[in-house]
Amino acid sequence: MSHAARARSAYDRAVAACGYAGVDRAAAELVPKTPTGRAAGALRLSARSLDALSASAPDAAPDPAADARCARNAAAAAALAAQVAHSVDGSEAALRALRAALTASQAAAVAAGGSAPGRDPSLNSAADDAEELAVAAAREAGWPVVSCSTTRRTDPSASPPVSPP
Per-residue model confidence as pLDDT tens digits over 14-72:
999 999 999 987 888 788 888 888 899 888 888 888 888 887 767 777 789 999 999 99
Farthest CA pair distance, the chain: 47
> Higher confidence at residue 164 or residue 121?
121
pLDDT at 165: 42
User: Taking the C-alpha atoms of 29, 101, 15 and 27 in order, what is their torsion angle to the nearest 10 degrees?
Assistant: -20
Residue 33 CB neighbours (<10 A): 9
Return the sign of the alpha-carbon dihedral for residues 126, 130, 132, 108: negative
User: What number of CA atoms fall less than 13 Å from residue 140's CA on the CB side?
Assistant: 17
Give CA–CA dist 27/44, Å, rounded: 10
pLDDT at 27: 81
Give CA–CA dist 25/31, Å, rounded: 14
pLDDT at 133: 98
pTM for this structure?
0.84
